[in-house]
Amino acid sequence: MKTEKHSNIISKLTDVINDDRVDLLHQVLNERTRYLTVVLDDIYQPQNASAILRSCECLGIQDLHVIEDKNDYKVNKMVVKGASKWVRLSHYKQQKGREDCLDNIKNNGYKVVAMTLSRNSIPLEELPVTDKLALCFGSEETGLSKLIEDNADYKVQIPITGFTQSYNVSVSAGISLYYLINKIKDLQQNWQLSKKEKETLLIDWLSKSTPTGKVLLEKYKKGILS
C-alpha cells in the first residue's frame, strides 16, 4: 500500500474513532519497537507463554516468534488480557521450524541471545545492546534446544542470589525485557519503528478500535467508499 493511500485510509478511519482513542494509539505507537524481539522455544504451559506475550505488549515489543515442536502454542485469555490483539506472532510448526526461525531473525539483523544457565553464559548486565536482539526462552523443563544454544551469538543468564536455581520462564522474560528496553532507550539507540511501519501498524490498530473498522478498511482499500 502506497504512503499516500496509507494517509488517506488513516484519515478516514480516524474520523470514525473518538479523539482520546486516537491519541492513545499514537502514544503507544511511539513506544513500539522491533529492536528487541522474543523467541519462545516450545513453551508447554499456556499461562507462561501468555504471560510473556502480555509483558512484551506492555513493554512495547511488537514481534514474537513461537516455535511449536512438541507443544502447540495456546493463548490463555485470562492471562493475556487482550495483548495478542496488538502484537504480531510468527509461528514455526514445520519439521525445520527452529532452523526457519533462526534464519528469519538472523536475516532481519538480529543477534541471537540464548537465555540459559550454561556455565559460559554472561550476566544480563553485560549483554551489549548495540545490535538488534532476539531473546530466546526455552521449555520450562528442558530449557532451550541445543540447536538454538549452538547458534546463539550470546548466552545470557539473570544472576540468582537465592537458593532456588532458576526463575520461572515468564519472570525471566519480564526481568530481561524490562532491563534491556530501558538500557536501549537510555543509550538512545535507533529503537523506534520507521514511519512506514508506524503507518501500517496504525491502520491495523485503527481498524481494531471500532466494531465496523475491519469492514470499513476493506472497503477503503478497494475504493468502494470515498
Per-residue pLDDT of the chain in tens (226 residues, 90 and over written 9): 555 567 778 888 888 788 999 999 999 999 999 999 999 999 888 889 999 999 999 999 999 999 998 878 877 777 878 898 999 999 998 779 999 999 999 999 999 999 998 889 999 999 999 999 999 999 877 889 999 999 999 999 999 999 998 899 999 999 999 999 999 999 988 999 999 999 999 999 998 888 777 777 776 666 645 4
The pLDDT score that the predictor gives to residue 64 is: 97
Q: What is the torsion angle, in degrees rounded to the nearest 10, for the CA atoms of residue 47, residue 45, residue 175 and residue 35?
A: -90
The pLDDT score that the predictor gives to residue 143 is: 85
H-run or E-run covering 90: strand 88-92
Q: Do 17 and 125 belong together in one domain?
A: no
* Rounded-to-integer distance, Cα 200 and Cα 99, Å: 28
Q: Do 78 and 21 belong together in one domain?
A: no
Q: Strands 36-41 and 63-67, how do they pair?
A: parallel
Q: Do 162 and 124 belong together in one domain?
A: yes
Q: Do 39 and 6 belong together in one domain?
A: no
Whether the CB-CB separation of 170 and 52 falls below 8 Å is answered with yes
Whether the CB-CB separation of 80 and 211 falls below 8 Å is answered with no
Q: Do 157 and 101 belong together in one domain?
A: yes
The pLDDT score that the predictor gives to residue 87 is: 95
Domain range spanning residue 4?
A: 1-32+195-226
Q: Do 182 and 112 belong together in one domain?
A: yes
Q: Residue 59 sits in a domain of what CATH number?
A: 3.40.1280.10
Backbone angles phi and psi of 11, in degrees to 5: -60, -45
Residue-wise over 196-221: b if at least 16 C-beta within 10 A, else e? eebbebbbbbbbebeeebeebbeebe
Q: Do 201 and 182 belong together in one domain?
A: no
State the SS3 of 23-79: HHHHHHHHCCECCEEEEEECCCCHHHHHHHHHHHHHHCECEEEEECCCCCCCCCHHH
The pLDDT score that the predictor gives to residue 221 is: 67
Q: Do 76 and 13 belong together in one domain?
A: no
Q: Do 80 and 167 belong together in one domain?
A: yes
* Rg (alpha carbons) of the chain, rounded to whole number: 19
The pLDDT score that the predictor gives to residue 220 is: 67
Cell of 211: 466494531
Number of residues assigned to the chain? 226
The pLDDT score that the predictor gives to residue 2 is: 54
Whether the CB-CB separation of 64 and 90 falls below 8 Å is answered with yes
The pLDDT score that the predictor gives to residue 72 is: 82
Q: Do 201 and 186 belong together in one domain?
A: no
The pLDDT score that the predictor gives to residue 116 is: 94
Q: Do 75 and 143 belong together in one domain?
A: yes
Q: Do 43 and 117 belong together in one domain?
A: yes
- The structural domain count of the chain equals 2
The pLDDT score that the predictor gives to residue 180 is: 98
The pLDDT score that the predictor gives to residue 39 is: 97
